[in-house]
Amino acid sequence: MDTWSAVPDTAGPAVNDQTVRQIVRVSVGGSEVRIRLSNLFGNLPITLGPARIALHASGADTVPGSDHALLFNGKPTVTIAKGESVLSDPVKMDVKPLQELAVSLYAPAAAPYHASTTHNAALATAYITENGDATAATHYPLDEVSGARFFLTDVEVSGPVAKATVVTFGDSITDGAGSTQDANTRWPDYLAERLQADASRSSIAVANAGIAGNHILHDGIGPSALSRFDRDALDKPGVRWIVLLEGINDIGGSGFAWDAKDKISTQQLIDGMKSLIARAHAKHVKIYGATLTPYGGSGWPYHSVAGEKTREALNDWIRHSGAFDGVVDFDKVVRDPAAPQKMLPAYDSGDHLHPSSTGYKAMAQAVDLKWFIP
């Protein structure tokens, strides 16, 4: 089952005879672990490896003696076709809940124009060597850092504890924009902590499928929600529940649109959500809707009178239509009662669109854990 995810959203720079070390915090632990690597946005087949996984110490370093080699069909390297992904073989490793792991991946020399597949807004530091294979290094010889994820899209665990996964599906507010770098303070991170603190639900993992800048209806940053929903949510191993928080970029983007056909209506967003709900239910997956949080003050034309009316109408439908299996009212949680079109200053990261880490914690606290029955 998926215990961690950062879905691919953009083509990134070539990684050429370099090692990338990335830090992930799992939600649920297990006795075996494996990773998924993606070449979704690559322009050519790519060969990757060796790859290794270890316990994270601090910075770019790992805990001595915790390192494990990852193989792909028994081999240390793998060639991934353009647009495809691969799973590593499982490796026996005792992974505890909420534990940080370091995944190290070597990309052999390739053409300098070879695009990598990245998750752009990682809110986590990737450590990159100048050259060479440093995957096994305990003390990492880093040369540069990046705020993106490279190739790594999923960590899966298995074992007697791991049971099922909640996929949090959305845009930058699910991706964690505005939260503290390298601190795991996105609202899905706080939800994972709440599940772990509940003994009856500690077997439930959280996989984050947020993409900053994502839209429901049209491709933007990353494929649209409608086009990526199967890959990034319904096909995740162990998925039983989805929490959907998306639509603000469709609304905000309409403020920049010149043509009437590019102006997104409330009904179009409702129809898009209905499609996602039907697809989830066809796979016997429960899907919970989240109201869109306030964005007043985020700047014109992203925020507009017309856009605000659309947000409020969509939120009214989410709350009262009965289309979802349940609703979490994130709007009510973070809005300023004195100015409901705006976020409470205590919860605002400063851009009036994205909550702060404090705001994300309040959002996670509002999710009804009774939805998630192991």
So what's the pLDDT on residue 374? 86
Residue 349: predicted pLDDT = 98
Q: 54-58, 89-93, 260-264, 340-344 — which is least confidently predicted?
A: 260-264
Domain 10-154 has CATH 3.40.50: no
Tell me the pLDDT tens digit for each residue of 327-337: 999 999 999 99
CATH 2.60.120 domain extents, the chain: 10-154
In this structure, CATH architecture of domain 163-371: 3-Layer(aba) Sandwich (3.40)
Predicted confidence (pLDDT) at residue 31 exceeds the cutoff of 90:
yes
Give the pLDDT score at 260: 67
Q: How far apart are CA 165 and CA 178, in angstroms?
A: 25
Say what the pLDDT of residue 88 is: 98
pLDDT of 226 over the 90 cut:
yes
Q: What average pLDDT does the chain have?
A: 96
What percentage of the chain has pLDDT greater than the value 70?
99
CA distances from 51 to 64, 137, 298, 339 (A): 17, 12, 42, 51
Q: What is the 3-state secondary structure (H, E, C) of the chain?
A: CEEEECCCCEEECCCCCEEEEEEEECCCCEEEEEEEEECCCCCCCEEECCEEEEEECCCCCECCCCCEEECECCECCEEECCCCEEECCCEEEEECCCCEEEEEEEECCCCCCCCEEEECCCCCCEEECCCCCCCCCCCCCCCEEECCEECEEEEEEECCCCCEEEEEEECHHHHCCCCCCCCCCCHHHHHHHHHHHCHHHCCEEEEEEECCCCCCCCCECECCHHHHHHHHHHCCCCEEEEEEECCHHHHHHHCCCCCHHHCCCHHHHHHHHHHHHHHHHHCCCEEEEECCCCCCCCCCCCCCHHHHHHHHHHHHHHHHCCCCCCEECHHHHHEECCEEEEECHHHECCCCCCECHHHHHHHHHHCCHHHCCC
Q: Is the pLDDT of residue 75 over 80?
A: yes
Confidence label for 11 from pLDDT (cuts 50, 70 and 90):
very high
- pLDDT for residue 90: 98
Intervals of CATH 3.40.50.1110 along the chain: 163-371
Mean pLDDT of the 184-210 span: 98
**pLDDT tens digits for range 311-326:** 999 999 999 999 999 9
pLDDT, one tens digit per residue, over 155-187 is: 999 988 768 999 999 999 999 999 999 999 999
**Model confidence pLDDT, tens digit, residues 244-263:** 999 999 999 988 766 766 78
